[in-house]
Amino acid sequence: MSVLESYQKIRAELDRVIFGLDEPIEFALAGLFSCGHVLLEGPPGTAKTLLVRSIAASLDMQYQRIQMTPDLLPNDITGSAIYREDEHRFEFVKGPIFTNFLLADEINRASARTQSALLEAMQELNVTYDGTTYPMPQPFMTFATQNPIEQEGTYPLPLAQLDRFMFKVEVGYPDGEQEEEILKTHHSTGGRSDPTQMEVKPVISPSEILAAQEEIRQTHVRDEVVTYLRRLLQETRNNDSLAVGASPRSGLMLLTGAKSLARFAEHDYVTPDNVKEAFLPGLRHRVVLSAAAELEGLTPDDVLIEILDSVEVPR
């Protein structure tokens, strides 16, 4: 099964229960097929968790959800050692992070110490405990949701944590027509929608995800497109409105996401438009505004859009 066929099968399942989230769905699935991690940010009640649970329900693989809270400890995520008295030894019991598809719900409600428990798994695909390294199942991906940091009781994610996410997708409120569709379809559940009860069926297996990942790797990228992306990255480092620009790793992850978007558009090659489409979700969480830009009320998106407009697009 090709990436496009897998995408269309999952999209068909999601479109039955999710309304008004076309862009978040697009980038969530781009991250999924690239085995990248995705961060969804938006106010409460905008179907962030429902979207991730619906994606999980469409996958025939292991799924775990962690409700991130201030009192959660790192060992609650990674696991801990338990003493077996009959065998006179300690045994490591794996935590919920050892799964194919992990939902870290409201990730910015957990402390920085607990957030850091995800770092090694998301980057190195293993967890080290007491000097022993335990590999993660394959494939492994983390989807996280968070409320805007302006809300009370949240902890901003450090830049090192944010850098592990391929995309940061902003989830907003639906328009009037889409909201009416939500009310008509889901009013009988009182807002407590369960994807399995709504008959979202598993349509993709782990082997198909790994095959899709390999197909995406083989997507052709012209030298002109690489040069275009390099110039965009350099502009983020030279822009006076940004104190921290995009790293080479962020460029690699952005290009991988652009490959997924190209496959969704039925291309086996990346176009500059694919790069432009992935640019904001791929970099908005990796750049840091300068103090002067913050005083002016600018956002990372404002600066990134300015950079997109200033760099010539190859023909």
pLDDT tens-digit map of 6-35: 999 999 999 888 888 889 999 999 999 998
The most confident of 157-166, 192-201, 234-243, by mean pLDDT: 234-243
Residues 54 and 292: their CA atoms lie apart, in Å, by 41
Helix (H) or strand (E) holding 278: helix 272-283
**Which residues, in sequence order, are bridge partners of residue 83?**
90
Given a contact cutoff of 8 angstroms between Cβ atoms, the answer to whether 141 and 103 are in contact is no
**Which residues, in sequence order, are bridge partners of residue 66?**
104
Residues 209 and 2: their CA atoms lie apart, in Å, by 10
Residue 169's pLDDT is 95
Residue 218's pLDDT is 93
Place of tokens 């030279």: 238
Residues 250 and 242: their CA atoms lie apart, in Å, by 15
The whole-number average pLDDT for the span 40-52 is: 88
Residues 311 and 280: their CA atoms lie apart, in Å, by 15
Domain spans, the chain: 1-218, 219-315
CATH of domain 219-315: 1.10.8.80
What Rg, from alpha-carbon coordinates, does the chain have? Answer: 20
SS3 call for 220: strand
**Residues 250-262: tens digit of each pLDDT:** 999 999 999 999 9
Same fold, 1-218 and 219-315: no
List the structure tokens of 245. 């620009």
Comparing 46-50, 239-243, 308-312, the range with the smallest average pLDDT is: 46-50
The whole-model pTM stands at: 0.90
Residue 125's pLDDT is 92
Phi, psi (degrees; rounded to nearest 5) at 309: -70, -25
CATH H-level, domain 1-218: superfamily: P-loop containing nucleotide triphosphate hydrolases (3.40.50.300)
Percent of the chain at pLDDT > 70 equals 97
